[in-house]
Amino acid sequence: MATLLPPSSPPAPFPDPPDWARRGIAALTEAHPLFGLIEPAAGPLPWRRRTPGFAGVLRTITGQMISNAAAAAIWRRVSALEGALDPAGLLALPEEALRGAGFSRPKVSHARALARACIERRLRFDELPGMSDAEAVAHLAAVPGLGPWTASVHLLFAEERADIFPPGDVALLASYTDLMGLDARPTPKALVIASQAWTPWRALAARLLWHWWRHRTGRATLEEPDPAPVLSSGAP
């Protein structure tokens, strides 16, 4: 079992979790008391959210396979490019502009594939609220360069789904190992299996585990908060 550390406060100006999430966290910690150790030690959970739609997925692409600090810096530069947050505008940008902002060649390819999928209506954000979690993950992951992790992170932060758990997330693996006091880190598949016990609040478990790992490693929540989503989240 993890040792409690002195409380720390999350950085402003992240809002508090909405009422439905507070109810879910209470239910989760009642069923799995170890999750109840996190906020007393790490401080209140900062409620991170991202913009639904194209810009939100583009932001998640930015964070693929790099640190939060690097992703935050690159996102500031990418989002400042004229037209970058619109599918047609991004496709009009030369590769050199995106590369100069910090995108690797694969991420330029992923971003453009995302933009084309939106324009061609192969990716339909307006239909996501009517899809199950599995259907929504599959719909997003069908775009080249996205995959289940990117799809799950987008649905968790932009759609605010309650029972999404991103597979293969290194920080979640590390945090789970630390919180549970394990001698060895589980495989990504083993963690996904373990997370099934946290249904229907797996996304809240993921948020708490990320919060715990930032606390244990002394890392701040680096990304700037997006405004509240305009679309209905569909969360309970």
Average pLDDT on 124-146 reads: 96
Task: Give the confidence band of 11 by pLDDT, cuts at 50, 70, 90.
Answer: very low
pLDDT over 80 at 50, yes or no: yes
Average pLDDT on 187-208 reads: 97
Task: Give the confidence band of 230 by pLDDT, cuts at 50, 70, 90.
Answer: very low
- The structure tokens listed for 83 are 């037209």
Average pLDDT over the chain, rounded to whole? 89
What per-residue confidence (pLDDT) applies to 222?
Answer: 52
What per-residue confidence (pLDDT) applies to 209?
Answer: 98
What per-residue confidence (pLDDT) applies to 228?
Answer: 40
The domains of the chain, with CATH numbers, are: 1-49+163-236 (1.10.1670.40), 54-157 (1.10.340.30)
Round to whole Å and give the CA distance between 5 and 14. Answer: 22
What per-residue confidence (pLDDT) applies to 15?
Answer: 85
CA angle (105, 48, 112) in 5-degree steps: 20
Beta-carbon contacts of residue 126 (< 8 Å; ≥ 6 apart)? none
Round to whole Å and give the CA distance between 158 and 108. Answer: 22
From the centroid of its chain, how far is CA 179? 20
Task: Give the confidence band of 65 by pLDDT, cuts at 50, 70, 90.
Answer: confident
Tell me the pLDDT tens digit for each residue of 100-128: 999 999 999 999 999 999 999 999 999 99
Tell me the pLDDT tens digit for each residue of 71-92: 999 999 999 999 999 999 999 9
